[in-house]
Structure 1
């Protein structure tokens, strides 16, 4: 179910009341949406495929993978193809091993997608990072964009650090992760939503243009 947030929605109102500085950004940007994925396993496969690649190249490899499988991407369908076959469509050996590890953990239940939706953030990230090739940032992005969890913060995300520095105007770049965390305390339980607004500030050109709100 898509979550629609704007200045007058419950989430928007809470953030505006909790953080008057962020409130100006929310009012300027307007509506944002958070749409969880119906296929979390496929989303994680896509995350692995996309690592260290441009969007264009990643898209080509994803299309090749879809063509190779000839149907939905499932753990069974991925494990049915050996390393050399997957290498032939452009996947590195490291990514192939990550995808196979993800598939095995999904089939065994070691990676529990229902639990990932409700576990505390740190525990959910710990479960995801047990998979080869999935680091903390990838895990956090999955929790936000694929599972639609509303209260996740990626302290190490360079874009969030940069947007927070622009928004608050007094963060030392060398201390940005810690400062971002302190500002984010006031956003809970909607830290993901605040992050979406910060990312939108970059996408809409406010940050690089050093625009005033």
Structure 2
């Protein structure tokens, strides 16, 4: 299993910038979050996972991988077909999103290799151009597939909850959120790991 990579550089930076976050980091310790470096299966998984429970998502994803003979690629997904994909336990709408991503990769419209060379804003613009992929999904892919170091997602309710608990805020206007983003930068992704832990 591959995990999101961070170390003393990120921890020391964040701890110097924010005393409360420093205390949380010390109490929580090292966090290991699994990553999915292969972007195509990660995209498909993100589509499947939307608005369903973790347990249900795990089951559906496992069935799709099995249907694709253990190798989730654009070719294997397109070969599986819409009807069999839907029988894995997902909606036809999500199936169409998945097949749309596969067709974009197959046609060359979506170059997954090129995404690694793009800056964060370009990655979001490219991925959200796909049906079924919103900004939050793109940001999660940036952290857990591309290993981008500086992502703090406004659209993630658990991140918002973590910030409110850490700093004892009753509300979190966007302007205040952006102040924290600037404070944590350029290591927002590591801060995100700890904010998720605090949100539980």
Aligned to 1:26: 25
Aligned length: 199
Aligned to 1:70: 69
Q: If the length of structure 1 is used for normalisation, what is the TM-score?
A: 0.85
Q: If the length of structure 2 is used for normalisation, what is the TM-score?
A: 0.90
Aligned to 1:132: 131
Aligned to 2:193: 196
Deviation at 1:100, TM superposition (A): 0.8
Q: Distance in 1 between matches of 2:116 and 2:150?
A: 11
Deviation at 1:159, TM superposition (A): 0.9
Contact 2:148 2:189 in 1 (8 A): yes
Unaligned 5+ segments in structure 2 are none
Task: State the SS of the aligned residue for 2:32.
Answer: strand
Deviation at 1:196, TM superposition (A): 0.7
Aligned to 1:111: 110
**Structure 1 residue runs of 4+, over 6 Å off?**
none
Unaligned 5+ segments in structure 1 are 204-213
Q: Distance in 1 between matches of 2:85 and 2:46?
A: 16
2:184 corresponds, among 183, 187, 192, to 187
Deviation at 1:3, TM superposition (A): 4.8
Q: How does 1:165-180 map to 2 (within 5 A)?
A: 165-169=164-168, 171-173=169-171, 175=173, 177-180=174-177
Task: State the SS of the aligned residue for 1:154.
Answer: coil
Q: How does 1:25-64 map to 2 (within 5 A)?
A: 25-64=24-63
Q: Distance in 2 between matches of 1:124 and 1:76?
A: 23
Shift of the 67–118 alpha-carbon distance from structure 1 to 2, 3 Å rule, reads same
Q: Distance in 2 between matches of 1:62 and 1:198?
A: 27
Deviation at 1:172, TM superposition (A): 4.6
Pair 1:156-2:155 in alignment: yes
Deviation track 1:133-179 (CA, whole Å, cap 9, x = no partner) reads 1111111111111221111120121111111111112x35252x331
Contact 2:4 2:144 in 1 (8 A): no
Q: Distance in 2 between matches of 1:118 and 1:179?
A: 31
Contact 1:5 1:33 in 2 (8 A): no
Pair 1:146-2:157 in alignment: no
Shift of the 3–17 alpha-carbon distance from structure 1 to 2, 3 Å rule, reads same
